[in-house]
Structures are given as C-alpha cells and as structure tokens.
C-alpha cells in the first residue's frame, strides 16, 4: 500500500511540475481541466448520481471549463466572481458544517450538484489564473495549503486534545488547526525573506505573501493569511462531511493509494478563489 501510494504521488508530482513549468499555459490548464472533470464525476457520485449521469455531469463540467478557456475570462475573470465564490464557501460552508452530515442528504439533490460543480469550476478558474500571474504566485498558494495540512497533521498528533468536528472528521483537533496556522505564518515569513533577497526581476511574479502585505498592510495581511489557512480546513471538512453523508471512505479509487481527486484537492478549492480575491485589483 505504501509503495503504491509513493508511486502514485511521484507520478502526480512529475505531471504537475511538467505542466506548471511549461513555457505556455495550456498544458497546465489541460491537466487541471482533466482533474476537475474527474472531481466533478466524483462529486456527482457522492451526491446520488451514479453511472451515466455522473459521467455526463463530469463531462459537462469539463465542457464549461473548456468554454471558459476560449472566453476573455481565461485571462481575467471579474473580481466579483471571486467574492461570490468566497461568500459561498464561507457562508455555505459554515451552514453545512453546523448542520452536520445528517442534514446534507436532505438538501435537494439538484442544489447539491449545481453548487458543487459551480465551486469546482470557480476553483479551477482561480487555479488557472494564478498560474497566469506567475510561478512564484501559484507555488506560494499551493505551499500555503500543503504547509497548513502538514503542520496540522503533526501538531494534531503531538498536541491534539480538543476535537474540531468529531461527527465529521474525528482525527482533526483545534490544536492541529492552530499548528497549521503557525506553520503558514512561519512559511510566509521565510518566503518573504527569501523573495526580498532576490534581485529585482529575478522572480517572475510576487508571491501571495507579498501581495497580501503590499495590498493590505502587515496586520490585515496576517489576518488574511490566517483566514486562508482556515478556509483550507473548511474545504477538507466539507468533503469529509459529504463523504460521511454518502457512507464513502474516499471520493473514488482513481488515484491508487490516495483515493480520489477530490481527496487531494479539497483544501485547495476554497483557498484559490479567496487568494485571487485578496491578490487581484
């Protein structure tokens, strides 16, 4: 199992890096489009749409993403879109987590499907536009989410006492959340120090951390950073809630040893639109 997990992870990282560092943007857009289409299929299956219906909805999401690539939104989406996506994640996420897994299936299936697919599309578009800003920017957002997850895991194992959401994800603790936030603050400080040390023009873009400090100032920038870290936890919890409501351990078995695509990108989905809302003018 561990060997399978490692092999899958290496293949995924290799594909991601090749697409990310390509001279043109379409390989990254295409790779992420395929991943988000798979996530759409998984979301549909988790929300009582199996077989051909789930495949059709995944294909529909892929078509919507492809159509977006051919539109002016591929270069710059309207800023209200990011605010709307952030509001949906913050307000809708809070409501869903408060209600718990038992309440999720009682929502109309059409509402669950449309909301999920719309947020997957918005997350994909934010990811593509973050790549358009620059490698330094998108890497800083990705590393923020990864650091939050890694620091929360080890902090929770070492210090976890108070459960965060026992009915949704029993392994998560408040101490893990705080450890994740501390890890992100340390990462942000180190990233800014290294970025400042580079000669002007030696990086292709400002990082998210630089954009937050320059755009909001240090106090508000720190608060925004903590908010982004918190939203990565919300994304993880929402997927756990939906899986628990569906009685599923993983979103699918597409990634051997890792579960499904949603299992790997759940924390990224709310963070990227919110990061774009903070970083773009």
Q: Is 207 in contact with 137 (CB distance < 8 Å)?
A: yes
Nearest to 269 by CA among 26, 42, 18: 42
Determine which helix (DSSP H) or strand (DSSP E) holds 165, and give its type and residue range. Answer: strand 163-165
Q: Is 194 in contact with 127 (CB distance < 8 Å)?
A: no
State the residue for tokens 């937050």.
212
- Distance (Å, whole) CA 222 – CA 228: 10
User: Tell me, what DSSP letter sits at residue 171?
Assistant: E
pLDDT tens digits for range 134-181? 999 999 999 999 999 999 999 999 999 999 999 999 999 999 999 999
Percent of the chain with pLDDT over 90: 81
- Show the domain range for 221: 2-279
pTM for the full model?
0.94
Helices 26-46 and 218-246: crossing angle, nearest 10°? 50
- Across the 281 residues of the chain, what is the mean pLDDT of every consecutive 10-residue run? 80 91 89 95 93 95 94 88 94 94 95 96 96 94 96 94 93 96 96 84 88 95 96 96 95 89 95 93 70
Q: How many domains does the chain have?
A: 1
- Distance (Å, whole) CA 148 – CA 184: 6
pLDDT tens digits for range 184-208? 999 999 999 999 887 666 788 999 9
The predicted structure's pLDDT at residue 1: 62
The predicted structure's pLDDT at residue 202: 77
């Amino acid at each position: 199992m561990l060997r399978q997990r490692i092999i899958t992870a290496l293949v995924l990282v290799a594909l991601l890096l090749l697409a990310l560092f390509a001279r043109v943007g379409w390989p990254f857009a295409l790779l992420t489009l395929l991943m988000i289409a798979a996530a759409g299929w998984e979301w549909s299956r988790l929300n009582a749409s199996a077989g051909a219906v789930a495949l059709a909805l995944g294909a529909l999401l892929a078509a919507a993403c492809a159509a977006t690539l051919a539109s002016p939104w591929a270069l710059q989406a309207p800023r209200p879109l990011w605010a709307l996506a952030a509001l949906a994640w913050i307000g809708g996420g809070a409501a869903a987590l408060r209600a718990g897994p038992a309440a999720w299936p009682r929502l109309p299936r059409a509402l669950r499907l449309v909301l999920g697919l719309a947020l997957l599309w918005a997350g994909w578009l934010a990811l593509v536009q973050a790549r358009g800003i620059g490698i330094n920017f998108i890497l800083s957002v990705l590393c923020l989410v990864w650091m939050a997850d890694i620091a929360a895991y080890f902090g929770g194992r070492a210090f976890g006492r108070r459960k965060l959401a026992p009915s949704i994800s029993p392994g998560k603790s408040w101490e893990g959340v705080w450890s994740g936030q501390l890890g992100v603050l340390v990462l942000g400080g180190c990233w800014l120090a290294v970025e400042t040390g580079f000669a002007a023009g030696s990086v292709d873009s400002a990082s998210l951390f630089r954009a937050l400090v320059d755009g909001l100032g240090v106090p508000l920038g720190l608060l925004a950073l903590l908010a982004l870290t918190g939203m990565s936890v919300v994304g993880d919890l929402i997927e756990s809630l939906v899986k628990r409501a569906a009685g599923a351990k993983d979103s699918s078995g597409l990634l051997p040893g890792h579960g499904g695509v949603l299992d790997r990108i759940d924390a990224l989905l709310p963070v990227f639109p919110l990061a774009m809302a903070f970083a773009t003018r």
